[in-house]
Amino acid sequence: MKYDQVAIREAERRAFDTITNPKMATKGDNGAICEVDNPYWVNPLNVSMPVTLVQEVAWVNTTQNFAFDFSINAPVQVPGTNNNVILGQNNVFVLYGIQILFRDGASSANGVYRSFGNTVNDDALYNSLVSIRMEQSTLVDKVNGQNFRDVPEGAITAFNALDGLLLINPVRIVSGKLGTFTLNLNLLNPTSALIISASQFISVRLRGAYGQASA
């Protein structure tokens, strides 16, 4: 989905306000809305934005369910294999956008990223539903995969940093201590009968505000 800079700036502002506001609203025991101290508060000087968390897995036709682990146990970056970026244990992250791309190429050093498949069969990826599970709760659910498909005008190698990005509402704040923080991409149809491109990877990127722990 294509966005202009105004939409991106507004999403970034919501994320920044969420992580730097010392108070947050919650529901009290009597059901009334009240303010409490923000347990995720970060000094504005320690906030970096935009920061993108990344997890990459191989695009294969032997499964309908792809899981991308962003928890404390997330796979780290392996040179030549993936371009993963993980959330540190003592840091916090405010998620305002999800981006899904194809990485074309077996090596992560020179892989080409695209927001559409090389073939019609590769585009079967977008007939899917996306959800995010944080601990025991699925806080983002039933997001249609077609939202992430962008085909740029002109050369097929053309790419914009915002291609394949979907802004979400409300923003979600997460801690690097989460044991379960997983994005699941579930294909609606089996693809075992489809011939898909070789050396393709799915790159899932969570875009947001990154709060660094201070000494």
pTM of the predicted model as reported, rounded to 2 decimal places? 0.93
Element (H, E) at 206: strand 200-211
**What percent of the chain is modeled with pLDDT above 70?**
98
Averaged pLDDT, 10-33: 89
Residue 215: predicted pLDDT: 63
- Residue 44 backbone phi and psi in degrees, to 5: -55, -30
Residue 156: predicted pLDDT: 67
Residue 160: predicted pLDDT: 85
Do 98 and 136 meet the contact criterion of CB atoms below 8 Å apart? no
Averaged pLDDT, 145-157: 83
Residue 28: predicted pLDDT: 75
Q: d(Cα 114, Cα 105) in Å, to the nearest integer?
A: 11
